[in-house]
Amino acid sequence: MRAPSLLLLLALSVGAAGRLNVLLVLVDDLRPALGCYGDPLAVTPNLDRLAVQSTLFSRAYAQQALCGPSRTSLLTSRRPDTTRLFDTGSYWRQAAGNFSSLPQLFRERGYYTASMGKVFHPGIVSNYSDDQPYSWSEPPYHPSSQADKDAPVCLGEDGKPHSNLYCPVDVSAQPQRTLPDIQTVQRAARWLQDRSGRAEPWMLAVGLHKPHIPLKMPWQYLNLYPIDSVSPPAQPTRPAGLPPVAWNPWSDVRHRDDVRQLNISFPYGPMPGFFARFVRQAYYAAVSYVDELVGQLLEALATAGHADNTVILLCGDHGWALGERGEWAKYSTSEDATRTPLLLHLPSRSGSLAGFRRVSALHRLQTRPVEGGAVHVSTPVELVDPPPAADVVAACDAPVAAAAVAFSQYPRPSVTPRADSDQPRLRDVAVMGFSARSARYRYTEWVRYDPATMRPLWRHLVADELYDHAVDPLEAANLAQAPTA
Nearest to 276 by CA among 215, 224, 319: 215
Q: Are 465 and 480 in contact (CB under 8 A)?
A: yes
| 363 in active site | no
Sign of the CA dihedral running 225, 228, 233, 236: positive
| 345 in active site | no
Nearest to 329 by CA among 407, 248, 240: 248
Q: Are 152 and 112 in contact (CB under 8 A)?
A: no
The pairing of strands 161-162 and 154-155 is: antiparallel
Strands of 159-209, DSSP E: 161-162, 166-169, 202-208
Q: Which of 36, 121, 209, 315 is catalytic?
A: 121
Chain CA centroid to CA 115, Å: 17
Strands of 381-469, DSSP E: 381-382, 406-412, 431-437, 441-450, 455-468
Helix (H/G/I), strand (E/B), else coil: 237 = coil
Tell me the C-alpha distance between 438 and 405, whole Å: 5
Tell me the C-alpha distance between 439 and 188, whole Å: 37
Alpha-carbon separation of residue 4 from 1, 96, 141 (angstroms): 9, 20, 22
Q: Which of 67, 154, 167, 315 is catalytic?
A: 67
Strands of 209-307, DSSP E: 215-218
Chain CA centroid to CA 403, Å: 23
Catalytic residues: 67, 121
